Amino acid sequence: MKVGAVIITMGNRPEELRALLDSVAKQDGDRVEVVVVGNGSPVPDVPAGVRTVELPENLGIPGGRNVGIEAFGPSGSDVDVLLFLDDDGLLPNTDTAQLCREAFEADPKLGIISFRIADPETGVTQRRHVPRLRAADPMRSSRVTTFLGGANAVRTSVLAEVGGLPDEFFYAHEETDLAWRALDAGWMIDYRADMVLHHPTTAPSRHAVYHRMVARNRVWLARRNLPALIVPVYLGVWLLLTLARRPSGPALKAWFGGFKEGWTSPCGPRRPMKWRTVWRLTRLGRPPII
């Protein structure tokens, strides 16, 4: 099973990128082919054999990753599995790619694997990095309904069947959009605690566009993928949860602006999931109302 890796960079973390590339090169088994996408910036010096693509403008996280996918052929068809890794992450173990090969070979319906993200200094995995509601034990592997964008492996036949990430999202919730389409097509998603990406502990709100895009893309996610009856329930629950977290005034203003934008701007094609997929999500512990 041939494995490739897509890494997008803004060109501002050359030392971290080099460390990540070194960790990928040390993976057991056959060589992992790597493509680094400069998302609106030049790519720093990389080792021989690493392919690069430099984009004239920042296409956002999903747009940059989609360019990386196509660098491996249509829907990544030159390889069987693609790893998507944050440029400031690092694979501390040398068996991660081999574990991916074994997992996909053992389960033909497994489409996506979400890695465990751990802080390199403390070893702590943030609750938000465990892609399920019952996130108290990050060391427990399980079936899940979404995955972590910068620490995962995707079978390329999933991309060929359901398409890539939604370019228009730019940042936030693009993984869940792909996850829902994959689940609707019959694929499964695993969270694997033994497949680790080291990544410094950060807060997502460090991005200036965080609150607006989280709200806008949450609406887009519902409009694109959910049966019409569930859309208001899903968005109503997230509105209540947002208010319960008591964000600051500026954050709340940005959130409501994004929420409005989600309703008034085009969100791409609408393909509501089957009701049996709603039931599958519910059985997996995360009904699509939260």
Residue 15 Cα distances to 45, 90, 279, angstroms = 10, 11, 45
E strands present in the chain:
3-9, 33-39, 51-55, 81-85, 110-118, 142-144, 151-155, 188-198
Q: What digits encode the pLDDT tens for the residues 86-102?
A: 999 999 999 999 999 99
The per-residue pLDDT for 290 is 87
3-state helix, strand, coil in the chain (%, to 5): 40, 20, 40
In angstroms, the CA 186 to CA 197 distance is: 27
pLDDT category, 201, cuts 50, 70, 90?
confident
Instruction: Note whether 37 and 85 are within 8 A (CB).
Output: no
- How many Å is the maximal CA-CA distance in the chain? 53
* pTM for this model (two decimals): 0.95
The amino acid at 287: P
Instruction: Note whether 288 and 241 are within 8 A (CB).
Output: no
Provide the residue count of the chain: 290
Instruction: Collect all residues with Cβ–Cβ distance below 8 Å to 224 and sequence separation of at least 6.
Output: 166, 177, 267, 268, 269, 270, 271
So where are the chain's domains?
3-202, 208-269
Q: How many CB atoms are closer than 10 A to CB 105? A: 12
The per-residue pLDDT for 205 is 56
The per-residue pLDDT for 9 is 96
Please state the CATH superfamily assignment of the domain spanning residues 3-202 in this structure. Spore Coat Polysaccharide Biosynthesis Protein SpsA; Chain A (3.90.550.10)
Q: What digits encode the pLDDT tens for the residues 58-90?
A: 999 999 999 999 999 999 999 999 999 999 999
Instruction: Collect all residues with Cβ–Cβ distance below 8 Å to 64 and sequence separation of at least 6.
Output: 8, 37, 39, 55, 58
The per-residue pLDDT for 207 is 54
- What are 192's strand-pairing partners? 115
